[in-house]
Structure 1
């Protein structure tokens, strides 16, 4: 068949330049906020196999992972300056376009028979690819195969990128979603675990960069005007015009990056609105994937290291509250003095001690994977009572839509890295009612939760990223709307930074 360069292939080529460049830059922004890669799910400090920062983790017993950010330049990352929330917004906006474009491309590729341009139909192609490599090393451009648009090594490399590397980067991206990774936890473990998946995703990014560099070099080697004429006009008859038009197109892509970066740094909330329009409709579908972990005691962070206390290896982030009230609770061991208040839009407001929570929990526990939004993970066994059971006891009134959780922690007072304000989070009722949304009072059968991990009681929302798993829980309020609380975005980081309340990805 005549392969040629049909219009849809040329459009997809240009879109991929935009999507991949935005994905790489926003991906670098995300990596910069936890620039370390691990082989183990437990991300014990000092065990990273690779890191991209000269900063060292704080030696203080209590520290915030946000202090490990590396502030990459806006010339490299999107948007730069350690703005993880905005980097995530751009990554997921671009992912939406990238995956949609790739699916359309694959359908057209196989629907028109053009798949043969990338998939060899004979083993001779691999033999010829070896000969072509020798020719390139001798600075001789190999000829295209008879009736094909590429030589053998080009065919195999393009086929690898479109049919192997791209599905792999999509798969590893999907399984970094807390909702997906925890719902399909057996598959997550088969893939090597969250940190191996994160590493492979990073290596995919490196693969795209290496391919792009080689691809550009090959275009120049084969003849810039000749090759760009193919992708602009679908033929080689106008090499000068093809080179000019394609170069202008690349300049426009660069301009698009400059505009996006400056707009994001100046109008972060506008990017947030764009994200909510493009991304929210499909991420909301993940609320129908309630967590159902399949981890056991042997997976708990610390079990693979000789330690007396396995909770030592469960990463903490943030400084405990420093109010006299909380310090007195800590000094007295919490058990007799702590009271969890449940109120708001309910029929039966109540106050529960830890002892009463233990009795209501009836020994319930769950061993789950914690997904920090920055990137670290830990596995822990939590004992507690489901939020759904507590709601049944309190009896939400008709019209109740959300559950608000308030912490003893005041960020400006307790953690100088951030501005002041009571730390709080909220969940839509569907998330609060998930079976593994838990009020926890024990970690790893130690009889309590350590202060660094949220003592005496904390929230576990296993389908969300870590910052929404509120620590040092003081009170629960059922409400009929969350958008009138503080800044109306549903939580502390949602209000003061650029984090989405929907943290299922």
Structure 2
């Protein structure tokens, strides 16, 4: 069998240069917004195993996760300048192309028999790979394996990248999706938990970078024109022509990165439209994966180290409202004064106190994993009533499509990191009806929810990233259109930043 360089392999090789380079740069942008890695689900400050920031964590004051991001340069990350939402857009678009290419490539390897180029058929290959390594260190050229286009070391290293590293990066990437991780929570735990998965995903990135750092010098050692001609023409009969074409291709990849970065910084909404065209058709399928987590009390953040007050270690993100109304509610202990309004496009609008919510909940609780969009996680036990049960009480009218949640929080007033505006979120009815979409009023069986975690009442969306689990809930309204509210994108960060309303990934 000819194990040369068929046209589809050459096309895939060039496309993967584009996709992997975009994945690395956008991945660095995502990492920069929470530049710490952990071994545990519980991202307790001071317990990270790796940090990629010079910022120090304050030891004696409350600080939000929004203040922990680092401003990476656009020369390194895509697009740079703390634009997490746009970095996510590029990452998911590149993922779409990368995974599609790998699946097609894998099928073609099996169908054509080209899998033999990566899979050794003898244990002797491993011993020979060691000899090849010594040859390279001695600046001599090892010979290809009989009947192969690669030497043994190349065969094993390429096979590792294509057949092991790539499936691993796809798997760990998929299980950073809240919808996937929380639907298949047992697999999430088998993989070591959300933070181990995140760390492994980062190490895969390091693996790709290390591969390229070694691969490129070896291309020159073997002969740049000779090797690149194979990747362009499928043979080395015309090395100058092949080398020139390949070099032009690399220049075009660099130009593509420059154009993408500048375009993104100049017109983020256009990038958002492109993302929605490419990514939404498959990401919307994740609505079919409702969360079904069921951690036990021993998994609660803080409990694993024997702390009595586990809630103290459940990370806060965002600053509580500072209005006189909210401060009065907090001073009076919420219970007697707080009223949740539920209305809009319903038959039976109603108001409910915390006592009413407690009675309706009838002891219902769920212990779930919180996925911050920046990267931190915490496990908490939430007591509350499902949104689905509340909707059954108020009876949405025919044509109701979405549920809107409004917070006491005004971002510009309460959190100087952001521009002004009332914080709100919305969910399509399918998400509101998911069994673990909850209106919570108690955390970790320790009474009321602390102010830093969204008390007295908050929303829990377990299939989505954390910022959509709105805190300091004031009102719920059922609507038949969400796209006419404020800027029409479905939420505060969707309106003011670059985050898709579909935050299932």
TM-score (norm 2): 0.99
- Contact 1:188–1:194 (8 Å) recurs in 2: yes
User: Contact 1:62–1:318 at 8 Å: present in 2 too?
Assistant: no
Q: CA deviation at 1:66?
A: 1.5
1:125 paired to 2:125: yes
Aligned ranges 1:20-419 → 2 under 5 Å: 20-59=20-59, 61-419=61-419
Asked if the contact 2:30/2:374 (under 8 Å) is kept, the reply is: yes
How far apart, CA to CA, are the structure 1 residues paired with 2:397 and 2:221? 71
Cα distance per residue 1:296-318 (max 9 Å; x no partner): 10000001224331101111111
Give the corresponding residue for 1:3. 3
Distance, in Å, in 1 between the alignment partners of 2:497 and 2:147 is: 56
CA distance in 2, matches of 1:112, 1:63: 57
1:175/1:197 contact within 8 Å kept = yes
SS at match of 2:305: coil
- Give 1:430 deviation, angstroms: 0.1
- Report the Cα offset of residue 59 of structure 1: 4.8
Secondary structure of the equivalent of 1:246? helix
1:190: Cα distance to partner?
A: 0.5
Q: Secondary structure at the match of 1:281?
A: helix
Cross-structure match for 1:16 = 16
Maintained 8 Å contact 2:294/2:366: no
What is the DSSP-based 3-state SS (H/G/I as helix, E as strand, rest coil) of the residue aligned with 2:3?
A: coil
Task: Name the SS of the counterpart of 1:304 in structure 2.
Answer: helix
- Rounded to whole Å, the distance in 2 between the matches of 1:361 and 1:51 is 41
State whether residues 62 and 320 of structure 1, in contact with CA within 8 Å, keep that contact through their aligned partners in structure 2. Answer: no
Query: Residue 61 and residue 355 in structure 1: after superposition, are their counterparts in 2 closer, same or farther (change >3 A)?
Result: farther
Q: CA deviation at 1:261?
A: 0.3
Contact residue 186 and residue 294 of structure 1 kept, 8 A: no
Q: Deviations over 1:370-396 (max 9, x none)?
A: 000000000000000000000000010
Superposition deviation, residue 233 in structure 1: 0.5
Between the two proteins, the alignment pairs up a number of residues equal to 505
> Displacement, 1:241?
1.3
1:444 matched to which residue of 2? 444
Whether the 8 Å CA contact 1:62–1:317 is kept in 2: the answer is: no
Shift of 1:244: 1.0
Aligned equivalents of 2:454, 2:159: Cα separation in 1: 49
Secondary structure, aligned partner of 1:463:
coil
CA distance in 2, matches of 1:200, 1:59: 28
Query: What is the CA–CA distance in structure 1 between the aligned matches of 2:135 and 2:403, rounded to whole Å?
Result: 66
Residue 58 of structure 1, CA deviation: 4.2
Q: Distance in 1 between matches of 2:396 and 2:304?
A: 43
Q: Distance in 2 between matches of 1:441 and 1:348?
A: 22
* Partners of 1:343 and 1:349 within 8 A in 2: yes
- Unaligned segments of structure 2, at least 5 residues: none
Shift of the alpha carbon at 1:229? Answer: 0.7
Q: Structure 1 residue 129: deviation in Å?
A: 0.6
SS at match of 1:442: strand
Q: Aligned partners of 2:170 and 2:273: how far apart in 1?
A: 24
Please state how far the C-alpha of 1:63 moved relative to its aligned partner.
2.8
* Structure 1: tracts of 5 or more residues without a match: none
2:342 and 2:350 in contact (8 A); partners too: yes
User: How far apart, CA to CA, are the structure 2 residues paired with 1:462 and 1:62?
Assistant: 25
CA drift of 1:124 comes to 1.1
